[in-house]
Structure 1
């Protein structure tokens, strides 16, 4: 990592792993990557620490006329997290919110099957879970992920991201037992600004990375 950020998501993951050495080699640790961009970061973390890796699907709820602006997120288990500040500012009608929830929930189910096929998710009850994304902007996606993973009853829940604004991390810290973030720039601008290569991660890349660290039969 340099003052300007990371070369790519794999370097970001290796940097994160350096702050997570206490969990290295432990049989009770699972790294969960938020797709798609969080999976290469999570793969590098799991590979460096030599721990289990899986994917955990969360979908951003974009404002209907400005999809990049997150008004919340949905996650596995029927979890829905809304960004009330955004909803008040842009005045989204409740029916419009519900329509986006239905749309993104369907995509969440599709991705679960696309990434994992018929393989069931790893059981994280009683385990240390490290939830990983490639960065936070509003933090809505991470908060939805944390809330959903907490329902799976891990023994400890860690959020690890390479870059994020301090206010987003503060909101997530209320839901996690530990938050790791090596780079907290101010001004923040956007996650992609802090990567030299921020190319979109494809479904095929996600499947390939998960297969590389799949449990041996």
Structure 2
């Protein structure tokens, strides 16, 4: 290989390495805690429904359980709804999951950034959808509340508390989404700085070798 080929190879090698090697930018702790908060906020209402589906009355009026066909087809509805809600809540971890731990090292940074952006867009859509759904439930709580029209006792307040926690779900999810998108921007900027530094370094090597050939 001639000197021109070697110089070109030395110029391209570091650029190839920085292109293929992912740039690591740790996710801030507060973003991780927000993702956990979103998941935890959805759990109380899930547990409440599962207890009802398992045959526990939880102090609910017999007339309400009969109208909801619990136990019966209504119990299956509660199980399916709880499973869907649990799956949706677990999606918050996609915002903070370190995918680099499970993928080859040669996966480029752009792929991780694109994945984070997609997760962020999905997180925004999910937070907005949850805000609408939970907001409608709050407005029509008298129609959702199993204890509607009854004197509130400890069971009624427990039910209210379980569903009240879901109000924090979209709030935590929205915060985690913002953190995820900010991390994606930081990762892209860090990758760009590293790429530019490698480009300057490689260009310097190429210029030095060209100058040496000229002097000879």
Higher relative contact order structure (alpha carbons within 8 Å, sequence separation ≥ 6): 2
TM-score interval, smaller chain: under 0.3
More helix by share: 2
In the superposition, the TM-score normalised over structure 1's length comes to: 0.23
Greater radius of gyration (CA): 2
